Amino acid sequence: MPIPLVNSIASWFLKKRIHQMELFMKYPQEVQNELLRSLIHKARHTEIGKKYDFSEIHNYQSFAERVPIHSYEDYEPTIERSRRGESNIFWPGAIKLFAKSSGTTNAKSKFIPVSEDSLESCHYAAGKDLLCMYLNNNPQSQLFTGKSLRLGGSKEIYKNNGTSYGDLSAILIDNMPFWAEYSSTPSNEVSLMSDWEVKMQAIVNETIKEKVTSLAGVPSWMLVLLNNVLETSGKDNLFEVWPSLEVYFHGGVNFDPYAPQYNKILPNPDFRYYEIYNASEGFFACQDQNDSKELLLMLDYGIFYEFISMDTYNTSQQKVIPLDEVEIGVNYAVIITTNAGLWRYKIGDTVRFTSTSPYRIKVSGRTKHHINVFGEELIIENSDKALKKASLVTGSEIIDYTAAPIFMKGKEKGAHEWIIEFKTPPENIEHFTIELDMALQQLNSDYEAKRFNNMTLNMPKVHSAREKLFYDWLKKNDKLGGQHKIPRLSNKRCYVEELLEMSGTTLTSDDLLEK
């Protein structure tokens, strides 16, 4: 398709979609309430619709009173029935596609339903909207003169009983329209390879010859791929490989820890980074402004939102609120009702609102990925920022990390134990540990209170991990590639213990203090 024609079509779609976005930004409650009524009406004859008498639900109040909050474990029996081919359980008709989660919050895999409605009006709509926002903000873009290098999951699509499952990214690639495949690289055949390590080199070999204008994928795995591209090509930076490269669309993990490494291989101040907030359950928010770290909550993707303040989450005081009751700066757990049949479902993510007109958010972490053994309420948002600050001060670069509590024993106080893999290690790990501790205290008053005079918490214990420790851990657990990621924080020691067992010799801040 000629580039001028592509640009004309994109321009037409852009103007149409921007108008729709302006409507939900101006009338967010009306859009969300109408969406909820539509979801309830469409599912009224399903098994779950009859169970909760959807025909008698006419507003949010009655919906909240009749339908309980659900976890994946609550839904698992009905999802398994749906996977075996049963229809009309939690959404009209048969669900044919299921996104297999990475399982970072649970030992067993989760299979999230992906209906035809959600595939079109949520998953694919979000991809088009991200392009729309980028082009609206960058009218001189030459995006369509080349291809998008996409980095999807390492799992192939498995079919059984007429249903299919795999990584969400693999499902999207396998079902995408022809025009999207035409403008993407690598080919579907390479993208859906199941062996991650073989696939990685195949992607390098195929894409290095293409005219790539954009990148799309999870930052941790994309960085591995791009470093392989540089190694294979012998170039110093990516603009020597792809001179027309102009933007990286990313999501899945916090980008901040990886930013210094991307800036080194993409040394151009005009290069753009655009973030999207997505999960197997849906696409929720997109960056709608250049050089912004705020994400616009998308209110017309077939997803109705509710929230629970993390101060009361899973307590007797827990209160679920709709969008119009949220406050700026509060850490909320996200509850969704979707056009794939997830009703008042806890997705396990936490967000903070930075604006309520329009509704913009920052992803702050996971409901299960935090450390609160001693009342310190340490969340991923804190740890990412503190590590970034400690790295800047000490001139180090981080590849990956995880942390867990050291539990109190007798009169011994607790602490936090960190395993950090550095690309560029600090000259003095004791200095790094002190800077990390100071940054955490500045960011988190609860942590600061527990650290005051070593009242409850001692100085953190930091291990400098051997090269590729986290990669080897992911490989051992069959989690290479795609949406799989390292569990950053945990109240349990299972991840830390397993990594320490695999790590061999590590140098810790305690070791240096003892010398």
HEC string of 329-352 equals: CCEEEEEEEECCCCCCEEEEEEEE
Domain membership flag for residue 375: yes
**Cα separation of 209 and 237, whole Å?**
15
The answer to whether the beta carbons of residues 340 and 119 sit under 8 Å apart is no
R_g of the chain, CA atoms, integer Å? 23
**Considering only CA atoms, which of 311, 312, 310, 332 is closest in space to residue 322?**
332
Evaluate whether 99 touches 167 at the Cβ level (below 8 Å): yes
How far apart are alpha carbons 195 and 87 in whole angstroms?
33
- pLDDT of 154 reads 54
Q: What is the mean pLDDT of residues 218-229?
A: 88
Give the list of residues 6+ apart from residue 465 with CB closer than 8 angstroms, or none: 419, 420, 421, 422, 499, 503, 506
Structure confidence at residue 104 (pLDDT): 41
Q: What is the mean pLDDT of the chain?
A: 87
91-95, 167-171, 308-312, 349-353: which range is least confident on average? 167-171
Segment 228-239, tens digit of pLDDT: 999 999 999 999
Which of 93-97, 128-132, 400-404 has the weakest average pLDDT? 128-132
Give the number of other Cβ atoms within 10 Å of residue 2's Cβ. Answer: 8
Q: Looking at the predicted structure, is the pLDDT value of residue 437 above 80? A: yes
Eight-state DSSP code of residue 167: -
Residue 133 has pLDDT above 80, yes or no: yes
pLDDT per residue as tens digits for the range 75-115: 999 999 999 989 999 999 999 999 887 544 444 578 999 99
**Residue 481 within a domain:** yes
- Mean pLDDT to the nearest integer, 146-153: 86
Instruction: Please check the confidence at residue 513 and state whether its pLDDT lies above 60.
Output: no
Q: Work out the number of other CB atoms within 10 angstroms of the CB of residue 236.
A: 12
Residue 69 clears pLDDT 90, i.e. is over it: yes
Mean pLDDT, rounded, for 378-407: 91
Strand 97-100: give its sheet, edge to edge. Answer: 111-114, 97-100, 163-166, 158-160
Sequence-separated (6 or more) residues with CB below 8 Å from residue 436: 386, 387, 390, 418, 460, 462
Does residue 497 form part of some domain? Answer: yes
Q: What percent of the chain has pLDDT over 70?
A: 90
pTM: 0.81
- Total number of domains in the chain: 1
Whether the ω angle into residue 358 lies within 30 degrees of 0, i.e. cis, is yes
Residue 37 lies in a domain: no
Residue 141 clears pLDDT 80, i.e. is over it: yes
Residue 182: is its pLDDT beyond 90? no
Within a domain: 439: yes
Average pLDDT over residues 113-135: 90
pLDDT computed for residue 512 by the predictor: 35
- Where is 500: in which H helix or E strand? helix 494-503
- pLDDT score at 117: 94
Distance CA 356, CA 372 (A): 29
d(CA 279, CA 271): 26
Query: Other CB atoms closer than 10 Å to residue 231's CB: what's the count?
Result: 10
H or E element in which residue 442 lies: helix 429-443
Residue 57 belongs to a domain: no
Q: At what angle do helices 28-42 and 3-26 cross, to 10 degrees?
A: 100
Lowest mean pLDDT among 7-21, 75-89, 163-177, 348-362: 7-21
Q: Which residues contact 339 (CB under 8 A, 6 or more apart)?
A: 39, 42, 91, 115, 117, 118, 121, 122, 302, 303
Q: Mapping DSSP to helix (H, G, I), strand (E, B) and coil, where does residue 494 land? A: helix
pLDDT band at 180; cut points 50, 70, 90: low
Position 165 in a domain: no
Write phi, then psi, for 389 (nearest 5 degrees): -65, -45
460 preceded by cis ω (within 30°)?
A: no
> Range of 458's domain?
370-514
Task: Give me 133's structure tokens.
Answer: 């926002």
* pLDDT for res 476: 86
pLDDT at 166: 80
> Could you give the maximum distance between any two Cα atoms of the chain, in Å?
73
Q: How do strand 282-286 and strand 295-297 relate by DSSP bridges?
A: antiparallel
- Give the CB-side neighbour count of residue 150, counting CA atoms within 13 A: 25
The per-residue pLDDT for 419 is 95
Q: Is the pLDDT of residue 411 over 80?
A: no
CA dihedral (101, 105, 110, 115) positive or negative:
negative
Tell me the angle at which helices 125-137 and 3-26 cross, rounded to the nearest 10 degrees.
100
β-strand 147-150 against 184-185: which pairing, if any?
parallel
- 239 in a structural domain: no
* 370-371 and 378-379 beta bridge pairing: antiparallel
